[in-house]
């Protein structure tokens, strides 16, 4: 019998298949949830040790408020941190996570240049559809760690920042592609050398991206590093994250913004307590909670159903 590669104790009753909101949650889904919950527990321990604040975010926050745990059709966990705490976590605390946990950032994993960090379980697999055979970085099941940065005060400054950050991330994506086709890979390698000559190496370019989006003195914050269009900005007041309270999530207690109701209203509208089934942000992720992602990197994905 396979044993999940998790460290923290999760009650056996958690793994029982059940129906939530008319949606059947199978044992297979519970196994994936258990790995993600274990990541959240471990992340919470490290943040407490390092004196850092974080909050449940997005669907995880909504799930805590509305369901006391996972939204039945969700497949991930999201947390968020203010920039000051996030920078300490990623620059000073990555070594606090021991095997199988891995804090994935642009500074710890070659080729990973997303606007946020992820905590991975290296003994599992969670591969996004558009990354099959394309990237070689850690692709274990993950916990998303988002960062809140200040929103520029003027429309003009918002437009300039969004245009610049989108350009940098697109260049980074092009500089860090992998492919099994030797001719295409050779072309990408030549393109990467050209970009390095023009913009500098990947890490220095990513540092430029982070300096661009850091802003500590604005009244409103958002995951602005993810935004490509200002119409998608969530205008969250910085003061909503000045204090915290705790809510139950699958039998464990985790911090949420004290003004979580206002945060959820911005994210989902005033009727956020009414369940609406929607696809997850990640789409059809390939999950295997029992097998290290490194085993799948050896395979041809065309042979996997």
Q: Which helix (H) or strand (E) holds 213?
A: helix 202-213
**Packing angle, helices 182-199 and 155-175, rounded to 10:** 130
At 1 the pLDDT is 46
Q: Give me the phi and psi of 168, to 5 degrees please.
A: -65, -45
| Cβ-count burial 129-167 (b if 16+ within 10 Å, e if not) | eeebbbbebbbbbbbbbbbbbbbbeeeeebeebbeebee
Q: Are 281 and 76 in contact (CB under 8 A)?
A: yes
Local structure of 239: helix, strand or coil: helix
At 303 the pLDDT is 52
- β-partners of residue 121 are 101, 141
At 71 the pLDDT is 95
At 12 the pLDDT is 94
Q: If 0-12 CB within 10 Å is exposed, 13-18 middle and 19+ buried, where does residue 266 land?
A: middle
- Per-residue pLDDT of the chain in tens (305 residues, 90 and over written 9): 479 999 999 999 999 999 988 899 999 999 999 999 999 999 999 999 999 999 999 999 999 999 999 999 999 999 999 999 999 999 999 999 999 999 999 989 988 989 999 999 999 999 998 787 778 899 999 999 999 999 999 999 999 999 999 988 888 877 766 555 555 555 455 555 555 555 667 788 889 999 999 998 899 999 999 998 899 999 999 999 999 999 999 999 999 999 999 999 999 999 999 987 665 555 589 999 999 999 998 876 555 54
Cα separation, 231 vs 227, whole angstroms: 9
Q: What is the length of the chain? A: 305
Q: Which helix (H) or strand (E) holds 293?
A: helix 293-297
* Domain boundary assignment for the chain: 12-150+218-303
Q: Are 176 and 191 in contact (CB under 8 A)?
A: no
């Amino acid at each position: 019998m396979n044993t999940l590669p998790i460290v923290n104790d999760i009650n056996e009753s958690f793994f029982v298949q059940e129906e939530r909101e008319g949606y059947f949650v199978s044992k297979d889904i519970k196994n994936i949830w258990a790995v993600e919950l274990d990541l959240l527990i471990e992340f919470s321990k490290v943040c407490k040790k390092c004196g850092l604040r974080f909050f449940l975010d997005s669907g995880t926050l909504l799930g805590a408020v509305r369901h006391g745990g996972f939204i039945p059709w969700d497949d991930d966990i999201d947390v968020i941190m203010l920039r000051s705490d996030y920078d300490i976590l990623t620059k000073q605390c990555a070594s606090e996570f021991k095997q199988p946990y891995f804090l994935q950032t642009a500074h710890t994993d070659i080729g990973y240049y997303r606007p946020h960090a992820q905590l991975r379980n290296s003994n599992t697999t969670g591969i996004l559809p558009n990354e099959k055979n394309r990237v070689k970085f850690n692709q274990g099941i993950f916990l998303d760690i988002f960062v809140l940065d200040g929103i520029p005060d003027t429309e003009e400054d918002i437009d300039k920042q969004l245009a610049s950050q989108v350009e940098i991330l697109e260049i980074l994506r092009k500089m860090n592609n992998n492919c099994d086709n030797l001719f295409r890979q050779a072309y990408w390698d030549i393109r990467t050398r050209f970009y390095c000559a023009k913009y500098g190496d990947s890490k220095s370019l990513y540092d430029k991206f982070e300096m661009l989006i850091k802003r500590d003195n604005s009244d409103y914050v958002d995951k602005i590093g993810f935004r490509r269009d200002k119409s998608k900005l969530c205008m969250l007041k910085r003061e909503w994250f000045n204090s915290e309270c705790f809510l139950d999530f699958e039998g464990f207690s985790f911090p949420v913004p004290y003004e979580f109701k206002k945060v959820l209203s911005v994210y989902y509208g005033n009727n956020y307590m009414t369940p609406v089934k929607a696809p997850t942000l990640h789409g059809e992720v390939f999950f295997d909670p029992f097998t290290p992602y490194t085993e799948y990197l050896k395979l041809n994905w065309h042979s996997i159903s």
